[in-house]
Amino acid sequence: MARYLVRRLLISIPTLLGISVIIFGVLALAPGDPLSQFANNPEVPEEVRQRVRDSLGLSEPMPVRYVKWLGQLLQGDMGFSFATRSSVTELIFQRLPNTLAVVGVAYFIGVAVAIPLGVFTAAKRYSIFDHLATTVAFVGFSVPSFFTGLIFIIIFAVQLRWFPFIYDSTIVVRDLGSLFQQVKQSVMPIAVLTFFYAATLMRYVRAEMLEHLPQDYARTARSKGLRESAVVRRHVLRNSLIPVITLVALGLPNVFTGAVITESIFSVPGIGQLLILSIVNADTPVVMAVTFSFAVLVVFFNLVADVLYAAADPRIRYS
């Protein structure tokens, strides 16, 4: 297992390098000057502009710039934001807790809802409940999350006035009252993500269960006199959950991407909203750093998924 882990870690390195080349290449090949605002300013003389370019290393050849950028990245230095002049690393860590809170809670509730639902609907296939749940899940994974979000706002914020319209990022949790306010404004963004994620996962769980229910080992368990509930819980569920473990880990990056959209609908000050703001402001260092952070997340959870899979299934032996 330890050897497999090391090998798997080593495989992720070229993947991350490849991704960094792509992201860097896209930016380097992009038309336009990263200092365009600065360059269009007539008060800045040509020689000063050239000196700024030199100091930023922009006049060096592309491979040299790439290696320098990568070296800084490895030291955790992601440069400075054009817009706010603060360190990009700082900016990201300022906003990361908000994203992690929303995504984490949504993810946890999603798994907690989807697995029992998937198991139950598969066990009671073709029942009214099964039809109802699978239809809701189908809608949940087909309807784009920005529309679900807007519908939630129309119903729960505008019509019913249960939840605030817009996320107030200035709330500091000091007492019960402010905690309640914080929870209240987080309900809708979390609900949108949960709905989408639970719907996707539940379909997988159900499909896995349906694959396993008619298999020989389940029939053996039934024929030795076990009750159906025991067959499902003790035998089928365990086997069906092995591929689901991978999906739970693999789905996490998708939830982060979903957070880009939910954060922008509800104006939650997380890294997704940071990404959109920086793109609108042409704040290249921030855009690059956030995109690369998303890539690291994807690669990391791919790794987690593979390792969990190997750990959960004794039939899989990696050497």
Partner 1 sequence: MRTLEHRSLRGDAWRQFRRHRLALVGVGALSLIAFATVLGPFLYTVPTDGIDFKKALQGPSFAHPFGTDQLGRDLLARSLYGGRVSTAVGVSAVLVAMTVGTLVGSLAGFFGRADGPLMRLTDMFISLPGLPLLLLVISLFRDSLRQLLGPVGGIFLLIVLLVGLLNWMGVARLVRGTFLSLKERDFVLAARAVGVGDLTIITRHILPNALGPVIVAATIGVGAAIITESSLSFLGLGFPPDEPTWGRLLFEAQGFIDTAPHYAIFPGLLISITVLSVNYIGDGLRDALDPRRSA
Residue 35 interacting with partner 1 (CB under 8 A): no
* Residue window 145-164: x/- pattern of binding to partner 1, with contact defined by CB under 8 A: -xx--xx-xx--xx------
Report d(CA 290, CA 93) in Å as an integer. 11
- Contact region with partner 1 (CB under 8 A), list: 73-81, 94-102, 113-121, 288-296: 288-296
Listed residue (259, 253, 255, 256) closest to 298, CA to CA:
253
Q: Which of 280, 314, 317, 319 binds partner 1 (CB under 8 A)?
A: 280
Q: Phi/psi at 80 (nearest 5 deg)?
A: -120, 145
Q: Tokens representing 224?
A: 């030795």
Tokens at 86, concatenated:
């603060």
Residue 213 touches partner 1, criterion: CB under 8 A? no
How many residues would you count in the chain? 319
80 or 165: whose CB is closer to partner 1? 165
> CA 78 to CA 59: how far, in whole Å?
19
Interface with partner 1 (CB under 8 A), residue from 48, 56, 112, 139: 139
Stretch that binds partner 1, among 67-75, 115-123, 187-195, 289-297 (CB under 8 A): 289-297
Q: Which residues within the stretch 2-21 sit at the binding site for partner 1 (CB under 8 A)?
A: 14-15, 18-19
Least Å distance, CB 233 to partner 1, is 27
Rounded-to-integer distance, Cα 165 and Cα 154, Å: 9
Nearer to partner 1, 40 or 142 (CB): 142
Contact in structure between 258 and 193 (CB atoms under 8 Å): yes
Number of CB atoms found within 10 A of residue 42's CB: 5
Residue 56 CB, shortest distance to partner 1, in Å, is 18
Residues 6+ apart with CB under 8 A from 23: 288, 291, 292, 295
Interface residue with partner 1, options 83, 105, 245, 276 (CB under 8 A): 276
Distance (Å, whole) CA 81 – CA 72: 15
Q: Nearest to residue 249, comparing CAs of 111, 112, 87, 84? A: 111
Residues that bind partner 1 (CB under 8 A): 14-15, 18-19, 22-23, 26-27, 30-32, 138-139, 141-144, 146-147, 150-151, 153-154, 157-158, 165, 253, 257, 260-261, 264-265, 275-276, 279-280, 282, 287-288, 290-291, 294-295, 297-299, 302
